[in-house]
Amino acid sequence: MDMTLVQYLNGQFSLLQVLDFFCRLALACVLGALIGIERSKRFKEAGVRTHIIVCCGAALFMIVSKYGFADLSFAGGAYFNGTRGADPARVAAQVVSGIGFLGAGTIMVRNNSIITGLTTAAGMWATAAIGIALGYGFYSGALIATVACVFTAAFLSRMERTRKENTHIYIEIDLS
């Protein structure tokens, strides 16, 4: 029996749920891109594409975690984490752990003393958290976190650079 994708999805989820999933993933792409655009402007290692992929992937992991195991939690009496029912936090926790590998790849040490890539690594970690929030449906938290990340990366770096440029050290030595 041939079944179209829409018929298959309607059998699994309502059309409203599928539209909700689409909105979550699309918003994850947009919010990930906002953070990535700021990093790209500064010619950083992880730019728009990386942040979109991280945020969208994290959102999808959370959607799968939240909705993908619903049949296991009720049918057959499956047990997760010592309790009856699926635990969506388990997949999210693995995303948090796994993103550390990507972040570690962006951190570099040059000249045995200069460390670069920390802000990019932190941005990717936060982008994954935003994706998880979107996958869960926590839109307001994802939007607030995106604004905070973009503001921090874009505007506070200017303030930090200005502070570093205006810092002078004077040493007085009294030889008497």
115 Rama sector, left if φ>0, alpha if ψ -120 to 50, beta otherwise: beta
Q: Which of 38, 36, 56 is nearest to 46 (CA)?
A: 36
Which residues lie closer than 8 Å to 81 by C-beta, 6 or more apart? 87, 90
pLDDT at 76: 44
3-state secondary structure of 100: helix
- The set of long-range contacts for 12-21, using a CB threshold of 8 Å and a minimum separation of 24, is 13/67, 17/67, 20/137, 21/63, 21/67
Residue that has been written with the tokens 């499956």 in this structure = 78
Q: Look up the pTM and report it.
A: 0.64
Q: Which of 68, 63, 39 is nearest to 51 (CA)?
A: 39
pLDDT at 27: 93
pLDDT in tens for each of the 176 residues of the chain?
455 655 555 567 778 888 888 899 999 999 988 888 887 887 776 778 888 888 888 888 888 778 776 655 444 444 444 555 556 677 778 888 888 887 787 777 777 777 787 778 888 888 888 998 888 888 888 898 898 888 887 787 676 666 555 556 667 788 87
Spatial separation of the C-alpha atoms in residues 65 and 81, rounded to whole Å? 14
3-state secondary structure of 113: coil
pLDDT at 77: 45
